[in-house]
Amino acid sequence: MATNGGQAVILRLAVPVPLRRLFDYLPPADTDPAQLVPGQRIWVPFGGRKLVAVLVDIVAESPLSELKPALELIDKRPLFDDRSRAFLRWAADYYQAPAGELYAAALPVALRKGRPADHWAEQWLQLTTEGKGLPHSALARAPKQQALRQLLLEHGRHSRTRLKELGHPTTATRALVDRGLAEWQSGPTVPPPIPAAEPAVPPQLNEEQQQVLAAVPGEGFSASLLEGTTGSGKTEVYLRLMQRALDRGQQALLLVPEIGLTPQTLRRIAARFPEHTIAALHSGLADGERARAWLAAASGQADIVIGTRSAILTPLPRPGVVLVDEEHDASFKQQDGVRYSARDLAVVLARNAGVPVLLGSATPSLESLHNALSGRYQHLRLRRRAGDAKPPQIHVVPTLGQQLEEGFAPQVLRHIGDTLARGEQALVFINRRGFAPALTCDDCGWLADCPHCSSKLTLHRRQRQLRCHHCDYRRPLVDSCPQCHSRSLSALGGGTERSEELLAGRFADFPVIRVDRDTTASKQALDRLLAPARAGEPCLLLGTQMLAKGHHLPRVTLVVIQDADGGLFSADFRAPERTGQLLEQVAGRAGRGELAGRVLVQSRFPEHPLLQLLLEKGYGAFARQLLRERTAAQLPPLRAMALVRAECEEPRWAEAFLEEARGHLEAMAPSSPQIQYLGPVPALLERKSGRYRFYLQVTAEQRGQLQPLLARLCQWAEGNRNRRLRWAVDMDAQELS
């Protein structure tokens, strides 16, 4: 057995399997125990397979007597430092997640598959002492070498990739190296620089912004909610807080929602910090790019880390500030696998690191608002729009009893026409993509259903397809009813594609730009699509919530919300909150420049009290009212909530599993005011991809009351031998669907 100073060496590993425990192994046969450091990756044999595990701890004793040796050490240096491992352990406990799966989620795919980190090392060119001391005239007759030397002298070492990008010929680099004036060194890679416009000069902060900045302590842990209307200058506050951390030599982490991380956002940050390396971590990257960006963040090469949800799991050696933009956004909660909330973990990370965290939004989640109103977070406000922009005027357009044209009231179409004629831009928000959400037979009433889900198929006319938006099932469009062969089929309701047809015909003199998942395969595509809008030409933008975020379009003066009613009558208690957030965010796109903005909201229920509150008093008052209702109904965020989920092709099995789960939970903690149970009940989307879905809801007065119960429930559930039944624990669940 391997020993170190006489002690046995046993490796405690996080292995990526769905079991909530660590696994003990012996060191690989040919590895010197002195090389082993927690945080390294290591190949292990597991159930006949070879897996990439992470070394979490080195111990001297194991409760097991027969240990297998691990196969091979992958990393020379650890990828996860002590703080990062402690953070991940906390998260695994809190979310009842298998540690191995959480480490796997923290790693970019290429590293998860065992690629050595050295693969992304780079060659760096730097001047030797002799090269630095050379008199200026010495290279007078070799201008290319001279230019290269000057660059290295003024800006320090450069990577081979960067030199190529800057157009320095390899002949010049070789000549400098041959003459002993420069030398190559291997070092960690850095991500390619983000093309920025001119380096930006920061604006003078307004008084509110100054107060906000003064309120965030420079050092030590503090949590703040920044509630600020769209366009009030929140991003400017983030930039200043980043600057503070950078000035102290620390890293700044900014989390953004999946659709908020646009090239425009990145350019804005890059323009402000031209001297600093930025690592951008998002789903649009190829595996290699993502690994490079991750390693730059984890090695400390990158000073600024901007990323979507999983960026919160990236180890940062010297964190200085944690920022979460659009903190209310649903994409911060992972909806399968390890169901963590990046926004909530941001607060935990900041607390562990002893640094400030700021959650920003124009439409804060009720969770964060509750934390702010109850004093757990500092509550900061920006009430006015920055610069000269004024808040938009909002008008409701009642649609009941009106002659609508493809869902639009005549006066709304008139306003759009007037806006374009004035040379301004209009934005139409439609919460549904495709041509129509249902296809039906006029003669027998047949409806096109998804064969795998309890939902209708959406008609996509341009592609001549019917598609399920839940499982992505697709079939060719039919010309006649499969049931009665009638050729009289109707598309019910409207989507972006249908509105585009109407609007493009009606306003043929202007570009009509449709933005939804079908027209924007990538972030770059979206950027290109929006180029005419950014250039300021009169145009009509129409699309889904992709249009609601992250785009600064100062010439949009009219925003139309085609249907405000969707979320007001849902069975999901969070639906009104989400509707309010979306409407406010979309409305906030109007009048962000010098021109005043107008918002037209179509509704069949203009008298609905929540809608009235939202439109008259704004999201702040609306959210506070919802919070009172949640309090009365004893729902989150007043109580902590976890769902135990089960799904199976055979509905009885899923239900029976949850009945049994409830029995176990009630045996440990009977129903009481502290702990309450509901269910099993079918999920809102009862059948998805062929499986029936149920959940059991557990709520508690205190979060801490749930953890021990759920931990023991997971131990029991891991014994489930029915391979066709899937189960999960969803702590702080966001979706009942």
Residues engaged in binding ligand ADP (CB under 6 A)? 203-206, 209, 228, 230-236, 386-387, 552
Instruction: Work out whether 480 is an interface residue with Zn ion (CB under 5 A).
Output: no
For 1, 7, 511, 711, 715, the CA distances from 63, given in Å and listed in that order, are 16, 16, 70, 21, 18
Closest CB to ligand ADP among 206 and 243? 206
Stretch that binds Zn ion, among 43-51, 453-461, 522-530, 563-571 (CB under 5 A): 453-461
- Taking the complex as a whole, the smallest distance from the CB of residue 86 to ligand ADP amounts, in Å, to 33
Closest CB to ligand ADP among 65 and 204? 204
Closest CB to ligand ADP among 204 and 522? 204
- Taking the complex as a whole, the smallest distance from the CB of residue 307 to ligand ADP amounts, in Å, to 18
Residue 233's binding partner, choosing from ligand ADP, Zn ion, none, with beta-carbon cut-off 5 to 8 A by kind?
ligand ADP
Instruction: Work out whether 43 is an interface residue with Zn ion (CB under 5 A).
Output: no
Distance CA 134, CA 602 (A): 73
Distance CA 631, CA 374 (A): 13
Closest CB to ligand ADP among 499 and 585? 585
Give the three-state DSSP class for 91.
helix
For 69, 98, 113, 163, the CA distances from 104, given in Å and listed in that order, are 21, 10, 9, 34
For 134, 148, 161, 178, 567, the CA distances from 140, given in Å and listed in that order, are 11, 12, 26, 17, 72
- Taking the complex as a whole, the smallest distance from the CB of residue 593 to ligand ADP amounts, in Å, to 8
What DSSP string runs through 153-200?
A: HHH--EEHHHHHHTT--HHHHHHHHHTTSEEEEEE---PPPPP-SSPP
Instruction: Work out whether 484 is an interface residue with Zn ion (CB under 5 A).
Output: yes
For 145, 424, 588, 647, the CA distances from 389, given in Å and listed in that order, are 51, 15, 11, 50
In the chain, how many H helices and how many E strands?
A: 22, 32
Closest CB to ligand ADP among 213 and 684? 213
Instruction: Work out whether 473 is an interface residue with Zn ion (CB under 5 A).
Output: yes
Who's near 700: CB < 8 A, 6+ residues apart? 639, 640, 641, 674, 675, 676, 706
What's the order of all strands across the beta sheet hosting 465-467? 458-460, 465-467, 474-476
Closest CB to ligand ADP among 552 and 624? 552
For 80, 228, 237, 690, 718, the CA distances from 206, given in Å and listed in that order, are 41, 13, 11, 55, 56
Residue 483's binding partner, choosing from ligand ADP, Zn ion, none, with beta-carbon cut-off 5 to 8 A by kind?
Zn ion
The separation between CA 494 and the C-alpha centre of its own chain, rounded to angstroms, equals 28
What DSSP string runs through 421-468?
A: HTT-EEEEE-S--SSBSEEEETTT--B-B-SSSSSBPEEETTTTEEE-
For 459, the token pair is 């008609």
Type of residue at 211: Q
Buried b (16+ CB within 10 A) or exposed e, 291-317: bbbbbbbbbbbbbbbbbbbbbbbbbbe
**Residue 634 near residue 697, CB atoms below 8 Å:** no
Stretch that binds Zn ion, among 216-224, 225-233, 265-273, 451-459 (CB under 5 A): 451-459
- Taking the complex as a whole, the smallest distance from the CB of residue 531 to ligand ADP amounts, in Å, to 18
Distance CA 530, CA 553 (A): 9
Closest CB to ligand ADP among 306 and 725? 306
Closest CB to ligand ADP among 28 and 591? 591
- Taking the complex as a whole, the smallest distance from the CB of residue 234 to ligand ADP amounts, in Å, to 3
Give the three-state DSSP class for 654.
helix
Give the three-state DSSP class for 247.
helix
Burial of 573 (0-12, 13-18, 19+ CB in 10 A): middle
Closest CB to ligand ADP among 206 and 625? 206
The contact pattern for Zn ion, residues 385-424, with x = CB under 5 A and - = no contact, is: ----------------------------------------
Helix (H) or strand (E) holding 346: helix 342-353
**Residue 580 near residue 363, CB atoms below 8 Å:** yes
Residue 205's binding partner, choosing from ligand ADP, Zn ion, none, with beta-carbon cut-off 5 to 8 A by kind?
ligand ADP
Residue 231's binding partner, choosing from ligand ADP, Zn ion, none, with beta-carbon cut-off 5 to 8 A by kind?
ligand ADP
- Taking the complex as a whole, the smallest distance from the CB of residue 443 to Zn ion amounts, in Å, to 5
The separation between CA 195 and the C-alpha centre of its own chain, rounded to angstroms, equals 22
Closest CB to ligand ADP among 228 and 307? 228
- Taking the complex as a whole, the smallest distance from the CB of residue 470 to Zn ion amounts, in Å, to 5
Residue 97's binding partner, choosing from Zn ion, ligand ADP, none, with beta-carbon cut-off 5 to 8 A by kind?
none
Residue 307's binding partner, choosing from ligand ADP, Zn ion, none, with beta-carbon cut-off 5 to 8 A by kind?
none
Distance CA 87, CA 93 (A): 10
For 196, the token pair is 């920025």
Query: Site for Zn ion (CB under 5 A): which residue of 278, 312, 386, 441?
Result: 441
Instruction: Work out whether 457 is an interface residue with Zn ion (CB under 5 A).
Output: no
For 179, the token pair is 């003459």
Closest CB to Zn ion among 394 and 491? 491
Nearest CA to 361 among 393, 330, 332, 329?
329
- Taking the complex as a whole, the smallest distance from the CB of residue 666 to ligand ADP amounts, in Å, to 47
Closest CB to ligand ADP among 323 and 503? 323
- Taking the complex as a whole, the smallest distance from the CB of residue 491 to Zn ion amounts, in Å, to 15
Closest CB to Zn ion among 246 and 453? 453
Residue 206's binding partner, choosing from ligand ADP, Zn ion, none, with beta-carbon cut-off 5 to 8 A by kind?
ligand ADP
- Taking the complex as a whole, the smallest distance from the CB of residue 375 to ligand ADP amounts, in Å, to 24
Closest CB to ligand ADP among 236 and 329? 236
- Taking the complex as a whole, the smallest distance from the CB of residue 694 to Zn ion amounts, in Å, to 18
Instruction: Work out whether 481 is an interface residue with Zn ion (CB under 5 A).
Output: yes
Stretch that binds Zn ion, among 129-137, 263-271, 481-489, 614-622 (CB under 5 A): 481-489
- Taking the complex as a whole, the smallest distance from the CB of residue 283 to ligand ADP amounts, in Å, to 22
Who's near 470: CB < 8 A, 6+ residues apart? 450, 453, 455, 685, 688, 689
Residue 470's binding partner, choosing from ligand ADP, Zn ion, none, with beta-carbon cut-off 5 to 8 A by kind?
Zn ion
Closest CB to Zn ion among 492 and 678? 492
Helix (H) or strand (E) holding 359: strand 356-361
Instruction: Work out whether 444 is an interface residue with Zn ion (CB under 5 A).
Output: yes
Stretch that binds Zn ion, among 197-205, 445-453, 513-521, 586-594 (CB under 5 A): 445-453
Residue 381's binding partner, choosing from Zn ion, ligand ADP, none, with beta-carbon cut-off 5 to 8 A by kind?
none
- Taking the complex as a whole, the smallest distance from the CB of residue 233 to ligand ADP amounts, in Å, to 3
- Taking the complex as a whole, the smallest distance from the CB of residue 247 to ligand ADP amounts, in Å, to 20
- Taking the complex as a whole, the smallest distance from the CB of residue 453 to Zn ion amounts, in Å, to 3
Give the three-state DSSP class for 243.
helix
Binding site for Zn ion (CB under 5 A): 441, 443-444, 446, 450, 452-453, 468, 470-471, 473, 481, 483-484, 486
